Amino acid sequence: MGNYYIVDGHCDSLINYVNRERSLVDPSEGGHWDTHRARLGGVALQFMAAFIETKYKPAMSTWRGLQLLEGAHRFIESNPEQVFLIRDKFDLKQIPDPNRIGVLLSVEGGEILGEDIFMLEVIFKLGVRALGLTWNQRNALADGVGEIGTQSKLTNFGQNVVLKMNQLGMLIDVSHLNEAGFWHVLELSKAPITASHSCAKTLCSHRRNLTDKQLSAIARNKGVVGINFYPEFLKEDGKASRADVIRHICHIAEVAGVETVGLGSDFDGIDIAPEGLGHVGEYYYLLEDLTRAGFSTSEIAQIAGENFMRLLSDVMK
Ligand SMILES: [Zn+2]
């Protein structure tokens, strides 16, 4: 549809690839995301997360993280006609490529670093350009949203990680981070940040969602919020449709400006997708709905992909 291209700030499909459950190039294998359907849906750039599952934490976090990153490289090298790795601003300029989807590697969980900053350099050299400081639990950097009642800010190590990420040109991701940590990151970071896959708490009171105050702070920081498609984050009864994704887009655009809104599906990380948006190939319908909701052509282009592109070119070297 039109000239829109999509940048999706989060998917967890790499786990399926590494576990040899799917090739991520063949839609008949199921799941939410593969290169074929991503092309149909208009995806030009996909953040692919190395999500470190709870069963590996804490002792095996680095091991599992590196295993996922090795798998990501294997996926990219095995499919040179479908995907290419985004490492720097030059690569970014190739987006949208007429034939291939750009892949931005991210890690979901600072526990991959253990307690040593040199590991940040290691994953940077492995092509990682975004890092979620925590998942829901506490790690050596900070507390996740699952730590109730601690109200902890970042540890010394977490603060060093933020500053080093600024220096390297890595995108700081605050989805899953607790609120005290969120404010601490905004105080410290010299670069804009993302909440790559989060929704609005005013519309759905879930610990993973962001308050209006947080949303406007991200706007002031020139960051981007990627709307998560998980029904439980979209609607309190957990029965969500594409219309609820539109509601969250409208709300965040109202509170924080259109330039703050992006998409962060969480495909293959969520067990259920919203009705009418069952996989990445159905992005097309979401863009049609945005037209119906009254967004202009240029606003839809921003929400679909340009906002995340602006953020990446502000952050990356
Ligand atoms: Zn997540």
* pLDDT tens-digit series, residues 258-302: 999 999 999 999 999 999 999 999 999 999 999 999 999 999 999
- For ligand 1, the distance from its centroid to the CA atom of residue 266, given in whole angstroms, is 7
Share of the chain above pLDDT 90, in %: 99
Per-residue pLDDT, 2: 59
- For ligand 1, the distance from its centroid to the CA atom of residue 14, given in whole angstroms, is 13
Q: Judging by beta carbons within 10 Å of its beta carbon (0-12, 13-18, 19+), is residue 67 exposed, middle or buried? A: middle
- For ligand 1, the distance from its centroid to the CA atom of residue 296, given in whole angstroms, is 30
> How long, in residues, is the chain?
317
CATH architecture of 6-315: Alpha-Beta Barrel (3.20)
Looking at this protein, which amino acid is placed at residue 147? E
- For ligand 1, the distance from its centroid to the CA atom of residue 264, given in whole angstroms, is 10
pLDDT digits (tens, 9 = 90+) for 152-193: 999 999 999 999 999 999 999 999 999 999 999 999 999 999
> How far, in Å, CA of 270 to CA of 163, rounded?
31
Say how far residue 23 (Cα) sits from the centre of its chain. 21
pLDDT digits (tens, 9 = 90+) for 118-162: 999 999 999 999 999 999 999 999 999 999 999 999 999 999 999
Of 174, 207, 208, 209, residue with least CA distance to 188: 174
Share of the chain above pLDDT 70, in %: 99
- For ligand 1, the distance from its centroid to the CA atom of residue 135, given in whole angstroms, is 7
Helix 156-168 and helix 179-188, axial crossing angle in degrees, nearest 10? 50
- For ligand 1, the distance from its centroid to the CA atom of residue 136, given in whole angstroms, is 8
Confidence (pTM)? 0.98
Per-residue pLDDT, 172: 99
Task: List the chain domain ranges.
Answer: 6-315
